[in-house]
C-alpha cells in the first residue's frame, strides 16, 4: 500500500510540475510504477513531461529495461537520454536489490546444449504418439501505422478481428491433417488448403526439424537467460541462410519464395526441450509482394493418456503484404490420443483466447 501511495504521489507531482529528475529518482519512479502495475502508456506519458538533471546513458536505460517496463516507456527513456547528452554524468545507479547477472553457460556448455536439443528436435516427430486436437485460429487485419488509416507511425497496430476458425487437427503417422469444422461459430465443411487469407501449417515439429537438420548449417549464438511459464530457459539466437532454408512464404497461392530467416530459441534448462521458437524472414526480394513475415510458436507440457509430451500451445503468424498487416493467432486445445473412433464435440461457442501471461516472457532471477 505504501509503495502504491508513493508512486501515485510521485506521478501527480511529475505531471503537474514537469519535475526535473536525477537518474536515481527516475529509477525509483520506474520501480514503483512496475510494482503498482501502471500501464506502459501512463508511464510514458509521465516521462514525456520530465527533464533530466544528469546524463542518462544507454547502459542505464538497459538496466531500467530489466525492470519489466514496456516499449513506449523505453522509447520515452531514449528521448530523455538524447536530450540529456550535454549534462554531467551522475553516480552509477542500478535497480535496488537487483542480483548480479546470471553468467551465460561456457562455450563448451553451449555446444553441448545445442547438441542435446538437436537430438531432441530431429527425433521430436518420431517420438510423438498419434493424436487429435482442436486448433482455434483468430485472423486479424490492421492498416500499417503511419499510413492514412493506421494512426501515427510507431503506434501499435489497430487490429480488427476478421474471422475465427475452429479446426480439427489430427496427427497420424507423423503427418498433420487439417479439417475446418466451424467458421465464426457456423458449422462448415471446407478444405483448409483452399481457405483464402493467411494460413500456416507445420507447427508439430517441422519448424524445429528444419532449424536443426545438419544440412541447414544453422548458426547459433548465446542471447540471454529467459523464463517461460515459470521455467528457466537458455535463449539462443540463430540464423539460416537463404541457400540452406526450407521456409516457404506463399503469396495468394500464386507466388512462392524460400526465405532466409533468423530468430530465437527458448530451451528448457531442466529438460533441454524447446519451449518457444521464433522465425523472422530476412532479405526478402524487393519484387515479392510480402514485405514482412514472422512466426512465434510456444510449446507447453500436455498429458496424452498417462504420459506427458511437449506440444504446441499457441502460435502467432504476422505478415505484411499489399500495405495491410495480418495476424493469425493459432491456439491448440483438447489434445486426445488418436484412434479410429476418436471424436471431439465442437460447441458453437468458441473458447476465450488464452491469457497473455501464458505466452509472455517472464523476468528471471
Domain assignment present for residue 89? The answer is no
Q: How many CB atoms lie within 10 A of CB 231?
A: 19
Higher pLDDT, 194 or 302: 302
pLDDT band per the 50, 70, 90 thresholds, residue 151? confident
- What per-residue confidence (pLDDT) applies to 272? 96
pLDDT at residue 178 tops 70: yes
Report the mean per-residue pLDDT for the chain.
85
β-strand pairing of 51-52 with 20-21? parallel
pLDDT at residue 65 tops 90: no
Q: Count structural domains, the chain.
A: 2
pLDDT at residue 321 tops 50: yes
Q: Are residues 224 and 172 in the same domain?
A: yes
Exposure of 262 by Cβ count < 10 A (0-12 exposed, 13-18 middle, 19+ buried)?
A: middle
Q: Are residues 173 and 224 in the same domain?
A: yes
- What per-residue confidence (pLDDT) applies to 115? 97
Q: Are residues 194 and 68 in the same domain?
A: no
Instruction: Estimate the crossing angle of helix 40-47 against helix 23-35, to 10 degrees.
Output: 160
Domain assignment present for residue 365? The answer is no
Tell me the average pLDDT across 6-15.
46
The pTM is what?
0.71
- What per-residue confidence (pLDDT) applies to 14? 47
The residues pairing with 20 across neighbouring beta strands, listed in sequence order, are 51
Q: How many CB atoms lie within 10 A of CB 112?
A: 13
- What per-residue confidence (pLDDT) applies to 346? 64
Q: pLDDT tens-digit profile of 245-265? A: 998 888 877 889 999 999 999
Domain assignment present for residue 352? The answer is yes
Q: Which of 19-23, 99-103, 221-225 has the highest mean pLDDT?
A: 221-225
Q: pLDDT tens-digit profile of 260-290? A: 999 999 999 999 999 999 999 999 999 999 9
CATH classification of the domain holding 150: 2.50.20
- What per-residue confidence (pLDDT) applies to 236? 97
Domain membership of residue 7 as a residue range: 2-83
Task: Answer with the one of 83, 116, 133 that is the final residue of a domain.
Answer: 83
Amino acid at each position: 500500500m505504501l509503495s502504491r501511495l508513493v508512486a501515485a504521489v510521485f506521478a501527480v507531482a511529475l505531471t503537474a510540475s514537469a519535475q526535473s529528475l536525477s537518474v536515481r529518482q527516475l529509477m525509483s519512479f520506474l520501480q514503483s510504477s512496475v510494482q503498482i502495475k501502471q500501464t506502459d502508456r501512463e508511464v510514458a506519458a509521465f516521462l514525456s513531461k520530465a527533464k533530466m538533471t544528469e546524463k542518462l546513458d544507454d547502459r542505464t536505460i538497459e538496466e531500467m529495461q530489466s525492470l519489466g517496463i514496456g516499449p513506449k516507456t523505453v522509447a520515452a527513456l531514449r528521448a530523455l537520454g538524447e536530450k540529456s547528452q550535454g549534462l554531467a554524468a551522475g553516480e552509477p545507479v542500478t535497480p535496488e536489490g537487483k542480483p548480479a547477472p546470471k553468467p551465460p553457460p561456457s562455450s563448451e556448455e553451449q555446444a553441448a546444449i545445442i547438441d542435446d536439443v538437436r537430438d531432441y528436435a530431429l527425433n521430436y516427430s518420431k517420438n510423438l504418439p498419434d493424436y487429435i486436437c482442436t486448433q482455434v485460429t483468430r485472423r486479424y487485419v490492421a492498416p500499417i501505422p503511419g499510413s492514412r488509416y493506421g494512426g501515427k507511425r510507431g503506434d501499435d497496430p489497430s487490429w480488427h478481428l476478421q474471422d475465427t476458425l475452429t479446426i480439427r487437427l489430427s496427427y497420424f503417422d507423423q503427418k498433420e491433417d487439417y479439417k475446418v469444422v466451424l467458421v465464426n461459430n457456423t458449422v462448415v465443411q471446407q478444405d483448409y488448403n483452399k481457405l483464402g487469407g493467411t494460413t500456416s501449417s507445420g507447427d508439430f515439429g517441422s519448424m524445429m526439424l528444419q532449424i536443426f537438420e545438419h544440412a541447414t548449417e544453422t548458426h547459433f549464438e548465446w542471447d540471454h537467460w529467459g523464463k517461460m511459464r515459470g521455467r528457466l530457459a537458455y535463449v539462443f539466437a540463430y540464423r539460416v541462410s537463404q541457400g540452406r532454408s526450407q521456409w516457404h512464404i506463399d503469396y495468394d497461392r500464386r507466388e512462392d519464395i524460400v526465405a532466409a530467416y533468423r530468430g530465437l530459441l527458448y530451451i528448457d534448462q531442466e529438460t533441454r526441450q524447446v519451449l518457444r521458437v521464433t522465425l523472422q524472414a530476412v532479405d526478402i526480394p524487393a519484387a515479392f509482394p510480402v514485405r514482412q513475415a514472422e512466426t512465434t510458436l510456444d510449446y507447453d507440457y500436455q498429458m496424452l493418456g498417462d504420459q506427458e509430451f511437449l506440444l504446441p500451445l499457441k502460435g502467432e503468424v504476422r505478415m505484411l503484404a499489399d500495405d495491410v498487416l495480418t495476424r493469425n493467432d493459432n491456439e491448440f486445445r483438447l489434445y486426445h490420443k488418436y484412434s479410429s473412433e476418436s471424436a471431439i464435440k465442437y460447441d458453437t461457442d468458441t473458447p476465450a483466447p488464452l491469457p497473455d501471461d501464458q505466452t509472455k516472457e517472464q523476468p528471471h532471477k
